[in-house]
Amino acid sequence: MGKSAVMSTIASAPESWPWPPIVRASVGWHLLAVGAAVFVPGAAPWAIGAIVLNHVLITAAGLTPRSSLLGPNVTRLPKAAADRREIALTIDDGPDPEVTPRVLDLLDAHGQRATFFCIADCVLAHPALAREIVARGHSIQNHTAQHRHNFSFLGPRGFAAEISRAQQVLEETTGQRPSCFRAPAGLRNPFLAPVLHRLGLLLVSWTRRGFDTRERDAATVLARLTRGLAAGDILLLHDGHAARTAAGRPVVLEVLPPLLARIRADGLRAVTLPEALAA
């Protein structure tokens, strides 16, 4: 199936959301606990404990970026892409006027493609740079409007406002409507999945990450990304909010040259997420 057909299928997805088993079980658990508290003498403390335990489980699922308990979550490329020896290099939190142009030059020099999960407010601040990302063969996807630190605490309306606004800004700026979404830090709650479903967006996390927003040693970041590197992996780096080496250089710029060389040496090819997910 071609990319356009896949996008059409996603866009025409039904409005109703098939709630995941853990969410349906949570509703039943709450009803059972309330019923026990009301009708069973002395059961109230146990019922409260059961509800608290349930909330802890749901919260833990939302705080685990690679979890699929709260809804679909792409953590690896599909088998067809892995069979083609493809990986996805994803770069978050930009565009950044200092770092992103040099990232683009490095990608061009090695003949590889990347997916940039961009913050809409940064795109508004640097629209020409966003258009250059697309013009040079890369993909821009949705990383919310503002990258709010309290994003995982939002409800349905808050999620819809942040994500819809980002969709509009990114499409109007680049001419391409995002099909993938990544939450800030990968954190979320049960209300996110139905909003993404309604907007025709796929939640994408990663296979491995370098923690390059806080790790200043490029060798450590590189080791995290390349340890067990294999076809189908989704790698995470940052052009925005990038940590700096002791010499003051953005870590991503130190990591990319040896990482891209390793990708080529292993017979792998970095492609955009829409390309990898289209089949």
List 126, 143, 147, 238, catalytic entry: 238
Which helix (H) or strand (E) is 113 found in, with range?
A: none
Per the annotation, the verdict on 238 as an active-site residue is: yes
Q: What are the residues facing 194 on neighbouring strands?
A: none
Q: Which pair of structure tokens corresponds to residue 67?
A: 């979890």
Q: What is the DSSP letter of 119?
A: -
Which residue stretches of the chain are H helix? 3-11, 21-39, 44-62, 79-83, 100-110, 120-125, 127-135, 156-174, 192-199, 218-226, 251-265, 273-277
Take residue 130 and report the two structure tokens written for it. 């966003």
The structure tokens 């060389």 sit at 261
Would residue 241 show up in a list of annotated catalytic residues for this protein?
Answer: no
Tell me if 156 sits within 8 A of 194, measured CB to CB.
yes
Give the DSSP H/E element, type plus range, for residue 256.
Answer: helix 251-265
Q: What are phi and psi of 19, to 5 degrees?
A: -55, 135
Of 92, 93, 96, 212, the active-site residue reads: 92
- What whole-number distance in Å separates Cα of residue 272 and Cα of residue 154? 29
* Token duo for residue 204: 């994408």
Catalytic residue list: 92, 238
